[in-house]
Amino acid sequence: MVSVSVRIAAANGDGIESSGTLLAKAAARKGLHIFGYRGYQSVIRGGHVWFSVRIADEKIYDHGETIDILVALNQDAVDHQASHLSKNAFVIYDSGKIKVDRLEGRGFRLLPIPLLDIAVETSGDPIVRNVVALGAVMKITGIGTDTLHQILKETFGKKGDKIVEQNVKAADRGYGYEGVETAFSLKSDNKKLYVMDGNTALSIGAYSAGCKFYAAYPMTPASSILHWFAAHEDKGVFVKQTEDEIAAINMTIGAASAGVRAMCGTSGGGFSLMVEGLGLAGMIEAPIVVVESQRTGPSTGLPTKTEQGDLLFVMNASQGEFPRIVAAPRDVEECFYVGKQAFNLAEKYQCPVVIMSDLFLSEHIESVESFDIDRVGIDRGKIATAVQDGRFKRYLLTEDGISPRSIPGTAGLEFTAASDEHNEYGDLVSDVLSGIDEHVEMRNKMHSKRMRKLETMLKNESCFVPSVESSSGSHSLVCFGSTTEASREAVKILKSKGIDVGLISFNYLLPLDRKATTDALKGKKLIDVEVNYTSQLAQIIKLCTGIDVDYKINKYDGEAITGEEIARKAEQIIKGVV
């Protein structure tokens, strides 16, 4: 495999995000695989930001730990990124502006290019220096300029031919700049690839499921779902920016109760506000989907950095007991399928489904092949259409715990959904009736009816077990959600060193099939990999199966974990160094 990590580093407002996206799309359009991630801060201008795009000729699962080509657009970029450069890395920098003394004589290939001058010459616009640099990157990587030209045309077409021409010219000047030579040979497998982040894939999944309603209060890293829905209102999806997250989840409950597939999304702080609403959905059996994209906590934490610190919170959020489903898609592609499946699960089992993402999964971009739209169909669960006799029993006591629901507007099936404990009609058994024998019995029956849905899910669905990629070795990595991709990369790296390691990954955390989970974990030394301090998955595994993991790898500095980092630590564990 040939892989090249390109990092563009500058200040906020320098346009590196669009440059990173241009590069990723130009490479993917060639059929090359990409993985991109952005390091940024909670400021609008200034600061130090970077965008890494790793390009390879086979599927890759992280953005890489080191940089093969650095595009340094300011002095900070050289100073802060020097320690991440790989051996013999290329450094493209503006000859007139930036000092590179600290990089000299260390084997790096320094490429001074008058980026700003060329930008001003070709377009009069300083920001076009990014495109000049991209041209040079296309040359070094050997990707060529044809797909970059296409992408520039598509991206800037709306701004007119002149802007497109200027950008194309700027790219060509960078590509042809004296001294810039091709150093890599990436072979395309000519697959048709798409480039998107996790939130986009999740949004398309929800759209594909027929989700027509999305409510949210802006919060990084969930905001891009709000933006996606807002940008697609012309496709018939309604979006509501609410006064707070409390309103967001309660509106979602109202919409879901009225028969529309509805979702809300937030990060941990906003989810804290949603917790009471989550319990309401559990009690009245409203089928809602909630996205919780985690960031580094507690409290405001590091708003633009990643973590997996909310797992136990989400699994236990709200007073009382009720069935819920907690999903944690493992990569961008799976965000689509889980995003679609979540609505089926919510409606079949009439309970809240929480999709856990995190800043890393929500925001990193990845090349993906076309989604199989038909793989997950649409199942709206049990819906009542005609009254049997007398008043409608919305909360009919059934063996599988699922009672057919009725949609407002349907004649003869009126009922009140109550957050108080209720009987089969939905009438309260909480106020004047509580404590009377008959209603004590009803509480028992109604609570166990709801809770029985968990057993029904486990019986009917095949998703509540971890995936096992076995190996001949003695150790397996264990992880959930977004950490799976870096773990896959680690397995590849270790294999290249002759170490065979297995991978057990969870994309659903609640409910869990006890026997299948025990079977999946048995027989190997377990190395648990989590982006948190308290190894929350390991705690769940212990609770569910009684199994203790053998080793733990934890990271909680806010930066995304990489395959190399996991591989290094796992290698030490396997070799008995630690």
Partner 1 sequence: MAGYSSGVKAIFCPGCGDFGVQAALNKAFMDLKIDKSNIVMVSGIGCSSSMPQVFGVYGIHSLHGRLLPVASGVKLANSKLTVVGVGGDGDGYGIGSGHFIHTARRNLDITYVVMNNEIYGLTTGQASPTSLRGAKTKSTPFGDIENPINPISLAIAAGATYVARGFSGDPMHMAELIKNGILHKGFALIDVFSPCVTFNKLNTYEWFKSRIYRLDKEGHDPSDIGKAMQRAMETEVTNWEKVPIGLFYKKEGETYEDSDIVLKNGPLAGQPAPSKENVMQILEENR
Q: Which is nearer to partner 1, 1 or 258 (CB)?
A: 258
Of the candidate residues 78, 98, 226, 262, the single one contacting partner 1 (CB under 8 A): 262
Tokens of 155: 């991206």
Q: Where are the alpha helices (DSSP H) in 285-352?
A: 311-316, 332-349
The 3-state DSSP class for residue 214 equals strand
Using CB under 8 A, count the residues that bind partner 1: 72
Touching partner 1, residues 230-249 (CB under 8 A): 232-238, 240, 242-244, 246-248
213 binds partner 1 (CB under 8 A): yes
Of the candidate residues 160, 408, 435, 523, the single one contacting partner 1 (CB under 8 A): 408
Q: Which is nearer to partner 1, 112 or 210 (CB)?
A: 210
Q: Which is nearer to partner 1, 25 or 295 (CB)?
A: 25
Q: Which is nearer to partner 1, 213 or 480 (CB)?
A: 213
276 binds partner 1 (CB under 8 A): yes
414 binds partner 1 (CB under 8 A): yes
CB of 280 to partner 1, least distance (A): 5
Q: Which is nearer to partner 1, 255 or 566 (CB)?
A: 255
Tokens of 291: 């996205």
389 binds partner 1 (CB under 8 A): no
CB of 18 to partner 1, least distance (A): 15
Touching partner 1, residues 51-70 (CB under 8 A): none
Touching partner 1, residues 423-452 (CB under 8 A): 426-428, 431-432
Q: Which is nearer to partner 1, 240 or 475 (CB)?
A: 240
As a whole number of angstroms, the distance between CA 59 and CA 51 comes to 19
CB of 221 to partner 1, least distance (A): 18
Residue 222 in contact with residue 271, Cβ under 8 Å?
no
CB of 227 to partner 1, least distance (A): 13
Nearest one of 412, 400, 519, 413 to 467, comparing CA atoms:
519
Touching partner 1, residues 192-211 (CB under 8 A): 193-196, 200, 204, 207-210
CA distances from 252 to 117, 211, 328, 423, 444 (A): 53, 11, 21, 24, 28
Phi-psi region of 75 (alpha: psi -120 to 50; beta: other; left: phi over 0): alpha
Exposure letters 256-279 (e unless 16+ CB within 10 A, then b): bbebebbbbbbbbbbbbbbbebbb
Helix (H) or strand (E) holding 502: strand 502-506
330 binds partner 1 (CB under 8 A): no
Of the candidate residues 130, 199, 250, 267, the single one contacting partner 1 (CB under 8 A): 250
212 binds partner 1 (CB under 8 A): yes
Touching partner 1, residues 282-311 (CB under 8 A): 284
Q: Which is nearer to partner 1, 40 or 194 (CB)?
A: 194
Exposure letters 99-130 (e unless 16+ CB within 10 A, then b): ebeebeeeebeebbbbbbbbbeebbeeeebbb
Going 282 to 283 to 285 to 286, the CA torsion angle's sign is negative
The 3-state DSSP class for residue 159 equals helix
The angle at the Cα of 363, spanning 539 to 530, to the nearest 5 degrees, equals: 20
Task: Report helix angle 268-284 to 245-257, nearest 10.
Answer: 30
> Which range in 46-54, 130-138, 187-195, 461-469 contacts partner 1 by CB under 8 A?
187-195
415 binds partner 1 (CB under 8 A): yes
326 binds partner 1 (CB under 8 A): no
317 binds partner 1 (CB under 8 A): no
Give me the DSSP letters along 420-475: S-B-TTS-BSSSTTTTSHHHHHHHHHHHHHHHHHHHHHHHH-S-SS-EEE--SSSE
Phi-psi region of 558 (alpha: psi -120 to 50; beta: other; left: phi over 0): left
285 exposure class (CB count in 10 Å sphere: 0-12, 13-18, 19+) = buried
Tokens of 416: 């009140």
Touching partner 1, residues 353-382 (CB under 8 A): 370-371, 373-374, 378
Q: Which is nearer to partner 1, 1 or 378 (CB)?
A: 378
> Which range in 265-273, 291-299, 418-426, 560-568 contacts partner 1 by CB under 8 A?
418-426
Q: Where are the alpha helices (DSSP H) in 176-220?
A: 198-208
275 binds partner 1 (CB under 8 A): no
CB of 462 to partner 1, least distance (A): 23
CB of 137 to partner 1, least distance (A): 20
Site string for partner 1, 13-52 (x = CB under 8 A): ------------x--xx-----------------------
Of the candidate residues 17, 79, 125, 420, the single one contacting partner 1 (CB under 8 A): 420
Q: Which is nearer to partner 1, 422 or 524 (CB)?
A: 422
Q: Which is nearer to partner 1, 204 or 567 (CB)?
A: 204
Q: Which is nearer to partner 1, 391 or 525 (CB)?
A: 391
Tokens of 502: 């297995």
Give me the DSSP letters along 97-148: T---GGGTTTT-EEEEE-HHHHHHHHHS-GGGHHHHHHHHHHHHHT--SHHH
Touching partner 1, residues 551-570 (CB under 8 A): none
Touching partner 1, residues 91-110 (CB under 8 A): none
156 binds partner 1 (CB under 8 A): no
CB of 196 to partner 1, least distance (A): 4
Residue 242 in contact with residue 218, Cβ under 8 Å?
no
Task: Report helix angle 514-521 to 536-545, nearest 10.
Answer: 110
Phi and psi at residue 231, in whole multiples of 5°? -70, -15
126 binds partner 1 (CB under 8 A): no
259 binds partner 1 (CB under 8 A): yes
